[in-house]
């Protein structure tokens, strides 16, 4: 079946099968590999995107559910090809090790700062609790979110 989705501000079309996840469509059909596929069970957050402004695990959303809706991926977070403040802060704070979890953390952190511009440690930990970093560099991720908020 054919779906039409606004992704990062651009109308995109894709031919998908009924049980296909939005994550698969983004990565395998629309050349947007920023959202990562690690667990495909909603456990790790590496596939996080915004669907109509709401943070979701794209591995748990059917592609057909995104039909006629709006998706923002890590590639489009900054807008106009620029990096988002959270992306710059992750780089400056050294919050990236292997980087596999980073897109998911960045999308979740950007979503938090949109809702809570100056979050506390606890608010950051709560907001990022659905994201797992296998390299376990959590303190620097926390630092990066504070840095982005301060800027």
Among 6, 12, 33, 42, the residue binding ligand FES under the rule CB under 6 A is: 42
Q: Is 39 in the site for ligand FES (CB under 6 A)?
A: yes
Question: Measured from the CB of residue 80, what is the shortest distance to ligand FES in angstroms?
Answer: 27
Closer of 9 and 129 to ligand FES (Cβ):
129
Q: Is 87 in the site for ligand FES (CB under 6 A)?
A: no
Instruction: Select from 2-10, 24-32, 36-44, 114-122 the region that touches ligand FES (CB under 6 A).
Output: 36-44
Per-residue b or e along 23-36, where b marks 16 or more CB atoms closer than 10 Å to that residue's CB: bbbbbebbebebbb
- Strand ranges across the sheet with 70-72: 10-15, 2-7, 70-72, 48-51, 54-57
Per-residue b or e along 55-84, where b marks 16 or more CB atoms closer than 10 Å to that residue's CB: bbbbbebbbbebeeeebbbbbbbbeeeeeb
**Helix, strand, coil share of the chain (percent; to 5):** 40, 15, 45
Q: Is 106 in the site for ligand FES (CB under 6 A)?
A: no
Instruction: Select from 1-9, 42-50, 68-76, 110-118 the region that touches ligand FES (CB under 6 A).
Output: 42-50
Beta bridge partners of 2: 15
Among 25, 37, 73, 87, the residue binding ligand FES under the rule CB under 6 A is: 37
Binding residues for ligand FES, per CB under 6 A? 37-40, 42-47, 57, 59, 96-101, 133-135, 137
């Amino acid at each position: 079946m054919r779906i039409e989705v606004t992704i990062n501000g651009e109308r995109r079309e894709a031919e998908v099968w009924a049980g296909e996840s939005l994550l698969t469509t983004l990565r395998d059909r629309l050349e947007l590999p920023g959202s990562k596929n690690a667990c495909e069970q909603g456990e790790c957050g590496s596939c996080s995107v915004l669907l109509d402004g709401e943070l979701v695990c794209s591995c748990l959303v059917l592609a057909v559910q995104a039909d006629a809706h709006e998706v923002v991926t890590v590639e489009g977070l900054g807008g106009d090809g620029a990096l988002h403040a959270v992306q710059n802060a992750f780089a400056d704070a050294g919050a990236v090790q292997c980087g596999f979890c980073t897109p998911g953390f960045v999308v979740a952190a950007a979503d938090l700062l949109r809702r809570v511009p100056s979050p506390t440690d606890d608010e950051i930990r709560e907001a990022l609790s659905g994201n797992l970093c296998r390299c376990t560099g959590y303190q620097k991720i926390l630092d990066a979110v504070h840095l982005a908020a301060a800027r």
